[in-house]
């Protein structure tokens, strides 16, 4: 971890001694984990534990319509879930140990889609996305469940979508931080064309790490795929945080802290 360094003088009988004090910085990076549609925060607890071992403060949470509030899943909208994510981010950013210029957001599927949009509303330094979903902008305030009835999501995801046509992709195009983008080789819901749409949008990113988990399905239903993804996330976070502590002077990307 980097340290503050400053010169001091130590008084002695004949004058003073020149000295230097090095004190560890009191703030650490924060990591916010966002589960996908139909999931819950428990899916990220082990990854959060390993990220905390790197010297981070981590936060996992349940989106409205999941876990305790599952009864609301039929009526919850993207607007509500984005507000959930903003509230979670603000809670993490207020933690007394957090360096607010060093916050990572890591989301899967629907959570990755929301995480991309979040970067246009809050400062995010590192953005991790596994099989991020893509939805048409229309119908933002109708129940998320209804989107698959109102729109032909399957057809929409089979074509390359220009960044100017989609809110999540517009946010990706404006993002200037570091990105981890993970694809499942045998994803039955998010085809490669969706990943390609995100890849072409991240042209302004400071760095882009793209990986495919061989043999994995959308939900990482086997333990090997789960372990592979955890290793990718923890290794990438370690590299990002290591670079920061080695002396990187970059600031959080996008909106200034309010």
What confidence tens digit (pLDDT) does each residue in 176-208 have?
Answer: 999 999 999 999 999 999 999 999 999 999 999
Give yes or no for residue 247 having a pLDDT over 80. Answer: no
Query: What's residue 248's pLDDT?
Result: 56
Helix (H, G, I), strand (E, B) or coil at 140: coil
Better-scored residue on pLDDT, 232 or 12: 232
Among 66-75, 130-139, 238-247, 249-258, which is the least confidently predicted range?
249-258
The answer to whether residue 130 scores a pLDDT higher than 50 is yes
Has residue 207 been placed in a domain? yes
Q: What is the pLDDT of residues 152-178, one digit of tens each?
A: 999 999 999 999 999 999 999 999 999
- Is 47 contained in some domain? yes
Radius of gyration of the chain (CA): 20
- Cβ atoms of 170 and 141 within 8 Å: the answer is no
Q: Confirm whether 16 is domain-assigned.
A: no
The CA distance from 55 to 223, in Å, is: 26
Rounded to whole angstroms, how far apart are CA atoms 125 and 237? Answer: 11
Percent of the chain with pLDDT over 90: 80
The pLDDT mean for the chain works out to 91
pLDDT digits (tens, 9 = 90+) for 22-36: 766 678 899 999 999
Residue 58 belongs to what domain range?
26-245
Binned at pLDDT 50, 70 and 90, residue 245 comes out as: confident
Residues 6+ apart with CB under 8 A from 221: none
Residue 117 lies in a domain: yes
The count of domains in the chain is 1
Does 213 map to a domain? yes
Residue 13 placed within a domain? no
Q: Which residues contact 163 (CB under 8 A, 6 or more apart)?
A: 169, 170, 172, 173, 197, 200, 201
Residue 164: how many other CB atoms lie within 10 Å: 9
Q: In whole angstroms, what is the distance from residue 114 CA to residue 108 CA? A: 9
Q: Distance between CA atoms of 174 and 153, rounded to whole angstroms?
A: 24
- Give the separation between CA 61 and CA 165, rounded to whole angstroms: 30
Length of the chain counted residue by residue: 258
pLDDT for 45-87, tens place per residue? Answer: 999 999 999 999 999 999 999 999 999 999 999 999 999 999 9
Higher pLDDT, 42 or 171: 171
- Asked if residue 14 is part of any domain, the answer here is no
Residue 128 lies in a domain: yes
Q: Output the domain CATH number for residue 49.
A: 3.40.50.1820
């Amino acid at each position: 971890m980097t340290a503050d360094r400053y010169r001091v003088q130590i008084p002695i009988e004949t004058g003073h001694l020149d000295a230097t004090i090095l004190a560890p910085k009191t703030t650490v990076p924060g990591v916010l984990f966002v589960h996908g549609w139909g999931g819950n925060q428990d899916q990220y607890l082990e990854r959060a534990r390993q990220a905390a071992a790197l010297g981070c403060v981590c936060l996992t949470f349940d989106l409205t319509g999941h876990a305790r509030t599952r009864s609301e899943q039929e009526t919850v909208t993207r607007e509500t879930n984005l507000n959930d994510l903003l509230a979670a981010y603000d809670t993490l950013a207020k933690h007394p140990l957090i360096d607010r210029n060093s916050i990572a957001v890591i989301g899967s599927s629907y959570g990755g889609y929301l995480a991309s949009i979040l970067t246009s509303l809050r400062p995010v330094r590192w953005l991790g996305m596994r099989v991020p979903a893509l939805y048409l902008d229309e119908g933002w305030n109708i129940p998320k469940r209804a989107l698959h009835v109102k729109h032909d999501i399957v057809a929409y995801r089979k074509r390359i979508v220009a960044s100017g046509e989609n809110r999540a992709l517009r946010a990706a195009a404006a993002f200037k931080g570091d990105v981890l983008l993970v694809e499942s080789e045998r994803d039955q819901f998010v085809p490669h064309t969706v990943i390609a749409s995100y890849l072409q949008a991240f042209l302004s990113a400071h760095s882009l790490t793209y990986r495919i988990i061989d043999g994995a399905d959308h939900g990482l239903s086997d333990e090997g795929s789960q372990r592979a993804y955890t290793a990718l996330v923890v290794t990438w976070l370690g590299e990002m945080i290591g670079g920061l502590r080695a002396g990187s002077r970059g600031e959080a990307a996008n909106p200034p802290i309010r």
